[in-house]
Structure 1
Amino acid sequence: MQHLLSGMDRARLALEAGQRVPSGALSPSVSSSWHRCRETGLDPRARPRGEIIPFVEVGHRREALATLRQLALAEMQLLHSQIAGSNFVIALGDGEGVVLDTISDHQFADSEAGRSIVPGSVWRERERGTNALGLAVMERQPVAVYGREHYFACHGHLSCMAAPILDAEGNVLGLLDASCTNEARQQHTHALVRMAASQIENGLIYQQRSESFIFAFHPRVEYLDTLSAGLIAVSREGAVHSLNRPGTALLAGLPVDRGAHFDDLFEAGFGSAMDGLLNGGVVRIRDRAGSGVFMVCRQIGRAGLGRIETMQKTAAKITVVERTSRPDFVCDDPVLRGALEEVADATSLRLPVLVTGETGTGKDRMARHVHAASGRSGEFVAVNCGALPESLFIAELFGHERGAFTGARGEGAPGLARQAHKGTLFLDEVADIPLAAQTALLRFLDTQEVRAVGGQKSTKLDIQIVSATNRDLEEMVAQRLFRSDLLYRLNTFTIRLPSLSARTDFPQIVRHVVERLAPGTAVTDEAVRRLGARSWPGNMRELEAVLQRSLLRRKMPFLDETAFELIRAPAAADTCEACRGHAVNEPRCSSIRLAYRAADQNIALTARRLGLSRTTVYKHVQ
């Protein structure tokens, strides 16, 4: 049987039995790491020591690496968009293997592995065994550790890819890592991590060498704007201050150590090369090994931040794959996703759709998705049923003839239902439809025919009906405030929107809203956790308001947990006794009472300003 085992199987058996690991079964770097771990006395069958440093110290480390963190989080956000949905975590570590920030898919964040890769967790080899973060520190090169190549058996289901980030001096300043719960060799992701680390390193050169000339060079002119190009930072006298890794590789064998001069590396004298470079052109020169390269000036002794931003935008244009999805909002919650899978079938049968949920859960957005899923060519016509006066509800909905009643428009009106022909009629706040009008609406739902007030002729329409409410219609039926037969016609197909605090896809919602408000802004996992601890009585509206305020007040081009320290949860709402303690009704009741006081307790004026009926206002302020 032994000869049927794979090389990895034999290596693991030997490791866990304390025997000599067969040569050739592992890469040299992993083999050396296993040997060091065994010499340290680590038991591969045990669980590693999961050291996590205090969060106060994490804050100090972040402050010391503020420039790195600013550049890295932007690249992590881009990397997350490229591999989103692959059950990954992207981590930024410092040069000692301490994790500073993470951005992850929420499935990974909720896993056992995700709970171990958090800010403050230490991934040095001597505690965690063979792993990509710890190995990248020691190797000073990008590394990948796949599955059972990890020293500890409990990490055998992980694949980790890490790349060190060198500063302008060539020292390991930080680490970029992508890990997933998959033993497969993620070559594509490994390449993306290396590219992101290179982008950060180039950004550090521009940032830390803002006083220097920076030239890009490459043997092929079309590669000058890619990550393959060498970057060299030189003083006004020609002394070499920094050289990125591609530049070091292109000048292999030449004296590229600190203290070198431009003339030590290139045949053209520094002065003559500068004449062509400062004119904005591309010059062709030879290095001291005789190889020809093209060179262009990228910075003339100025602050590099603007250039960094330009580079990031260029990288985004090159690497980001545009993806479209339907619907245009997050719906990864299993309850919600299950309902959405049936929307197209429901609309193909012209079933009325009822959307229920607390205030601010996104009923209007869902209604628009139902319209889009139906594929109808007509308009989406929204009707706020609570804003239409009871006496005019039927006339506004079905239209009226000229002079049909006192106050009627001189030319008459076709009605909102006719505008929705071949499209969708959205009855928002359907619970506020007056009882007298409910009968007319029921008749329309049965026949799909409308007759204008004062008219004699009926018109057949083709309309998809969508209604929405935040109230309990069955309870209203029991109280004889809503017709039972109308409810049974409206709720043929019901979509119940969970409250924001009950959504399992909360992290994706946060990142989706931030991307819409401030495209490209990174949001760390700790920021998402801080937000997830709130109750969110106002649901999506409250979340969006909090994120807008945090984006306005932020001091860095990303959002971490500190962005929300000054934003407190709202105080208890001022509500009527009937709504107090009711998460669905409290926000609406509070806004009505606030408007009522602003209108000097004038019910009619409050109703006009809010677009509600006077009965609705009175119910909340009595």
Structure 2
Amino acid sequence: MQHLSGIERARNALENGGRLPVGSLPSVVADSWQRCRDLGLDPRAAPRNSVVPFSQVNQRREQNAALRRLALAEMQLLHSQIAGSNFMIALGDADGVVLDTISDQHFADSAAGRSIIPGSLWNEDLRGTNALGLAAMAHRPVAIYGREHYFSCHGHLSCMAAPILNSRGETLGLLDASCAFEARQEHTHALVRMAAAQIENGLIYQECSESFIFAFHPRVEYLDTLSAGLLSVSPDGSIISLNRPGTTLLAGLPAAIGSHFDDLFEAGFGSAMDGLLNGGVIRIRDRAGSGVFMVCRQIGQRGADAMAKPAPALPALLRRSNAPDFVCDDPIVKRSMTDIADAVTLRMPVHITGETGTGKDLMARHAHTLSGRKGQFVPVNCGAVPENLFIAEIFGHERGAFTNARDEGSPGLARTADKGTLFFDEVADIPLAAQTSLLRFLDSMEVRSVGGQKTLKVDVQIVSATNRNLQEMVATKAFRADLYYRLNAFTIRLPALKARSDFAGVVRHLMQAMAPDTAVTDAAIARLALHSWPGNIRELKTALQRALVRRRMDYLDEDSFEDINTGEKNVDDSCDSCRPHPLSRSKCREIRSIFQMSGENISKTARVLNLSRTTVYKHVR
């Protein structure tokens, strides 16, 4: 409570122009507030948004290609560790320009999420006190919680950022986690710092692939942790690279790039190499007299890509037709999920409607799971069964009951599903002649095989599905009305993919099933969301598989989906204002991209780009 009362006193002083109370804020926050005051920033106003052109974002990405590749893998892991917590993970370059984001959909759809986009600049003089800007300025990890942000509109956010440094202590990039909570997120802050350290170590392996790399630590059990020093050494013993823990462990010694191994450790380089190259752990003393354990992690003179992380092989899941479960954060789907358990408990027939590829089969299987039945889930593709064999396929037949009947007869799918679920997929294709028999079965749950005399009572849960309008078929007498009313005791309508509010969740779920180690950026999802997806989830899955097969890096960004038709016309053809207007065509494309990301909100687009609403309207009308 002391912290809360202190921050409240400080904010009252800040917003009313008073003197900040001593000791009420962490020093890094108090100093930042004062700098923002000196710049004349109004804490009660909206911060000035600044977004660099997308062409510059791509240039910055190319300049930081090695960093970006490693960082996106760590961002994917970090996102999976804190998923469901309304978070966004962002990668910035050394100047504080955001290059990529990976986020939960709720955060991405918020005002804060729409302001943290590729190209957005988070310097202190523009955005006030924020973790990304301070980490870039201070070259060390920073966390800003809630109302510690300078601008009051950011008071509901907590942001944690860590710089990614090279061996010379220079900032290469920034890793940030932001969440829509004021509470302190110490655990998340630790995860961000660990991820940054992992990227730094990865860069050493990647950039020093032809050198020897040694890990060292005073305690042998820490050699495989991020606390271990990592030392890259040339074949003649010169120091090429040293990570942050290594610099700390060798404090007071000439641990600089270009110095020699012998300047740091009492054992000569040749003597140490004899023990290290045998694959064992050696114990040596540094020049300050402290003992450390050391092990060789990489032998020099390897190919340039020796330690680079290979693109993960495509798992067998890519060849499966359905994912094992599905996303249901969309309100319509969620409401159906709430009711379906009660429906199957009451043994009500469940009817699922929706366009092709919306996940009707998955929902049917989920209904079976919710029923708790011990029997099988038995699907019937009604459109694939020949009309003259439909009754025999469902109810079975005796030996020799008809021409081409199986010699041993068949129990039928209804008996096979006893104590389980019988799923009529594409139920609209049931032949009219068979609909009477099916209706009789649904009323009595009794089965008599073709050519047989005995009836057998079965206990099955009935689920049906179709992408056609059964009501229209009833009106045209193509489907029996009494059968229709029997099947649709409880109806679930699955929305088309383009209409779902949880589109990003669906993309990430499919990626997790197909290639869990492959990051997919928010910009990639934003591009995918512009497509109409007539084939729905099935088409989306195919598009992701195609991008995974074609990818050259172990991540997917917006460039991975250039073959996706977003429905946007060419700028030259669709925007008359672009040709004569002083803004360049690339600027026009930038306005349109931000317009799409903002939910087609002209005011927000104008605010982000610091343009007039009239200018924005000319380019997006």
Bucket of the pairwise TM-score, normalised by the shorter protein:
0.7 to 0.9
Alignment of 1:231-380 (within 5 A): 231-301=230-300, 302-303=302-303, 305-307=305-307, 309=309, 328-380=325-377
Question: Which residue does the alignment assign to 2:558?
Answer: 561
Amino acid at match of 1:17: N
Alignment of 1:443-522 (within 5 A): 443-522=440-519
Question: In the alignment, does 2:164 pair up with 1:172?
Answer: no
Alignment of 1:105-120 (within 5 A): 105-120=104-119
Alpha carbons of structure 1 residues 311 and 391: separation in structure 2 relative to 1, 3 Å: closer
Question: Which residue does the alignment assign to 1:206?
Answer: 205
Question: Which residue does the alignment assign to 1:430?
Answer: 427
- Whether the 8 Å CA contact 2:129–2:151 is kept in 1: the answer is yes
Amino acid at match of 2:123: R
Question: Which residue does the alignment assign to 1:586?
Answer: none
Question: Which residue does the alignment assign to 1:594?
Answer: none
Alignment of 1:111-190 (within 5 A): 111-190=110-189
Alpha carbons of structure 1 residues 128 and 424: separation in structure 2 relative to 1, 3 Å: same
In the TM superposition, what is the alpha-carbon distance from 1:411 to its structure 2 partner?
2.2
Alpha carbons of structure 1 residues 170 and 210: separation in structure 2 relative to 1, 3 Å: farther
In 2, distance between residues paired with 1:232 and 1:209?
A: 10
In 1, distance between residues paired with 2:424 and 2:445?
A: 15
| Farther-moved stretch of structure 1 (440-449 vs 257-266) | 257-266
Question: Which residue does the alignment assign to 1:536?
Answer: 533
In the TM superposition, what is the alpha-carbon distance from 1:516 to its structure 2 partner?
2.1
Alpha carbons of structure 1 residues 144 and 454: separation in structure 2 relative to 1, 3 Å: same
Alpha carbons of structure 1 residues 4 and 38: separation in structure 2 relative to 1, 3 Å: closer
TM-score under structure 1 length normalisation: 0.87
Residue by residue over 1:367-413, the C-alpha shift from the partner in whole angstroms, topping out at 9 and shown as x without a partner, is 11111222222111111111112211111110111222233222221
In the TM superposition, what is the alpha-carbon distance from 1:110 to its structure 2 partner?
0.6
In the TM superposition, what is the alpha-carbon distance from 1:303 to its structure 2 partner?
4.5
In 2, distance between residues paired with 1:285 and 1:403?
A: 86
- Whether the 8 Å CA contact 1:206–1:305 is kept in 2: the answer is no
Question: Which residue does the alignment assign to 2:27?
Answer: 28
Unaligned runs of 5+ in 1: 314-325, 571-622
Question: Which residue does the alignment assign to 1:589?
Answer: none
In the TM superposition, what is the alpha-carbon distance from 1:234 to its structure 2 partner?
1.3
The alignment yields a C-alpha RMSD, in angstroms, of 2.0
Question: Which residue does the alignment assign to 1:322?
Answer: none
In the TM superposition, what is the alpha-carbon distance from 1:94 to its structure 2 partner?
0.2
Question: Which residue does the alignment assign to 1:50?
Answer: 49
In 2, distance between residues paired with 1:520 and 1:434?
A: 47
- Whether the 8 Å CA contact 2:530–2:566 is kept in 1: the answer is no
In 2, distance between residues paired with 1:327 and 1:51?
A: 43
Residue by residue over 1:547-590, the C-alpha shift from the partner in whole angstroms, topping out at 9 and shown as x without a partner, is 121112222211100111134479xxxxxxxxxxxxxxxxxxxx
Question: Which residue does the alignment assign to 1:411?
Answer: 408
How many residue pairs were aligned? 556
Residue by residue over 1:481-505, the C-alpha shift from the partner in whole angstroms, topping out at 9 and shown as x without a partner, is 1112111211112111110101111
Alpha carbons of structure 1 residues 410 and 333: separation in structure 2 relative to 1, 3 Å: same
| Farther-moved stretch of structure 1 (451-460 vs 13-22) | 13-22
Amino acid at match of 2:5: S
Question: In the alignment, does 2:16 pair up with 1:17?
Answer: yes
In the TM superposition, what is the alpha-carbon distance from 1:4 to its structure 2 partner?
12
Structure 1 runs (4+) greater than 6 angstroms displaced: 310-313
Question: In the alignment, does 2:388 pair up with 1:391?
Answer: yes
- Whether the 8 Å CA contact 2:166–2:243 is kept in 1: the answer is no
In 1, distance between residues paired with 2:304 and 2:552?
A: 19
- Whether the 8 Å CA contact 1:399–1:413 is kept in 2: the answer is yes
SS of 1:443's partner is: helix
**Aligned residues with identical type, % of pairs:** 71
Residue by residue over 1:286-311, the C-alpha shift from the partner in whole angstroms, topping out at 9 and shown as x without a partner, is 12222211110011122475545399
In 2, distance between residues paired with 1:414 and 1:462?
A: 15
SS of 2:388's partner is: helix
SS of 1:431's partner is: helix
Alpha carbons of structure 1 residues 237 and 229: separation in structure 2 relative to 1, 3 Å: same
In 2, distance between residues paired with 1:191 and 1:273?
A: 34
Amino acid at match of 1:270: F
- Whether the 8 Å CA contact 1:168–1:209 is kept in 2: the answer is no
- Whether the 8 Å CA contact 2:528–2:564 is kept in 1: the answer is no
In 1, distance between residues paired with 2:310 and 2:498?
A: 38
Question: Which residue does the alignment assign to 1:221?
Answer: 220
In 1, distance between residues paired with 2:529 and 2:148?
A: 35
Higher relative contact order (CA 8 A, sep 6+): 2
In 2, distance between residues paired with 1:241 and 1:196?
A: 23
Amino acid at match of 2:389: L
- Whether the 8 Å CA contact 2:380–2:423 is kept in 1: the answer is yes
- Whether the 8 Å CA contact 2:447–2:457 is kept in 1: the answer is yes
In the TM superposition, what is the alpha-carbon distance from 1:169 to its structure 2 partner?
3.4
In 2, distance between residues paired with 1:338 and 1:441?
A: 30
- Whether the 8 Å CA contact 1:381–1:419 is kept in 2: the answer is yes
| Farther-moved stretch of structure 1 (439-448 vs 513-522) | 513-522
Amino acid at match of 1:413: S
In 1, distance between residues paired with 2:454 and 2:188?
A: 66
Residue by residue over 1:212-244, the C-alpha shift from the partner in whole angstroms, topping out at 9 and shown as x without a partner, is 211001111111111111101111221211111
- Whether the 8 Å CA contact 1:168–1:208 is kept in 2: the answer is no
In 2, distance between residues paired with 1:308 and 1:63?
A: 17
In the TM superposition, what is the alpha-carbon distance from 1:5 to its structure 2 partner?
8.1
In 2, distance between residues paired with 1:310 and 1:60?
A: 24
Residue by residue over 1:31-62, the C-alpha shift from the partner in whole angstroms, topping out at 9 and shown as x without a partner, is 11112111222221221110100000000000
In 2, distance between residues paired with 1:417 and 1:397?
A: 6
In the TM superposition, what is the alpha-carbon distance from 1:312 to its structure 2 partner?
11
In 1, distance between residues paired with 2:411 and 2:156?
A: 65
Alpha carbons of structure 1 residues 342 and 246: separation in structure 2 relative to 1, 3 Å: same
Alpha carbons of structure 1 residues 116 and 129: separation in structure 2 relative to 1, 3 Å: same
Unaligned runs of 5+ in 2: 314-322, 568-621
In 1, distance between residues paired with 2:217 and 2:310?
A: 20
